[in-house]
Amino acid sequence: MEDATPLNLPVWDDVVAAHARIKPHINRTHVLRSDYLDDLMGAELFFKCENFQEAGAFKARGACNAVFGLSDEQAKAGVATHSSGNHGLSLSYAAGRRGIPCTVVMPHTAPQAKKDQVRYYGGRIVECEPSTSSREAVFAGVLEETGAEFVHPYNDPRVIAGQGTCSKELIEQVEGLDAVIAPIGGGGMISGTCLTLSTVAPAVEIFAAEPEQADDAYRSFKAGHIIADDAPVTIADGLKVPLKERTWHFVSNFVTDIFTCSEDEIVDAMKLTWKRLRIVMEPSCAPPLATLLKNKDRFAGKRVGVIVTGGNVDLDTLPWMS
**What digits encode the pLDDT tens for the residues 219-260?**
999 999 999 988 899 999 889 989 999 999 999 999 999 999
Last residue of a domain, one of 120, 150, 180: 150
Same domain, 215 and 304: yes
Same domain, 218 and 297: yes
Q: Is residue 36 part of a domain?
A: yes
* Across 93-118, average pLDDT: 95
Residue 214, pLDDT score: 96
Residue 317, pLDDT score: 84
Judge whether residue 4 has pLDDT over 60.
no
What digits encode the pLDDT tens for the residues 138-161?
999 999 999 999 999 999 999 999
Q: Is residue 5 part of a domain?
A: no
Q: Using 50, 70 and 90 to split pLDDT, how confident is the model at 111?
A: confident
Q: Is residue 251 part of a domain?
A: yes
Same domain, 174 and 297: yes
Residue 321, pLDDT score: 82
Q: What CATH number should be reported for the domain holding residue 33?
A: 3.40.50.1100
Last residue of a domain, one of 130, 150, 170: 150
Determine phi and psi for 101, rounding to 5 degrees: -75, 155
Judge whether residue 1 has pLDDT over 50.
no
Residue 230, pLDDT score: 84
Judge whether residue 268 has pLDDT over 90.
yes
Average pLDDT, the chain: 95
Q: Is residue 4 part of a domain?
A: no
* Across 30-39, average pLDDT: 98
Same domain, 211 and 68: no
Same domain, 183 and 279: yes
Judge whether residue 5 has pLDDT over 70.
no
Residue 315, pLDDT score: 84
Read off the pTM: 0.94
Residue 227 domain boundaries:
12-58+156-321
Residue 135, pLDDT score: 87
Same domain, 189 and 40: yes
Same domain, 205 and 288: yes
Same domain, 294 and 237: yes
Q: Is residue 7 part of a domain?
A: no
Q: Is residue 305 part of a domain?
A: yes
* Across 167-174, average pLDDT: 98
Same domain, 76 and 41: no
Last residue of a domain, one of 128, 150, 172: 150
Judge whether residue 192 has pLDDT over 60.
yes
Q: Using 50, 70 and 90 to split pLDDT, how confident is the model at 322?
A: low
* Across 16-25, average pLDDT: 98
Could you tell me what percent of the chain has a pLDDT over 90?
88
Same domain, 181 and 291: yes
What digits encode the pLDDT tens for the residues 284-312?
999 999 999 999 999 999 999 999 999 98
Same domain, 81 and 37: no
Q: Is residue 1 part of a domain?
A: no
Q: Using 50, 70 and 90 to split pLDDT, how confident is the model at 3?
A: very low
Same domain, 266 and 240: yes
Q: Is residue 2 part of a domain?
A: no
Number of domains in the chain: 2
Residue 149, pLDDT score: 98
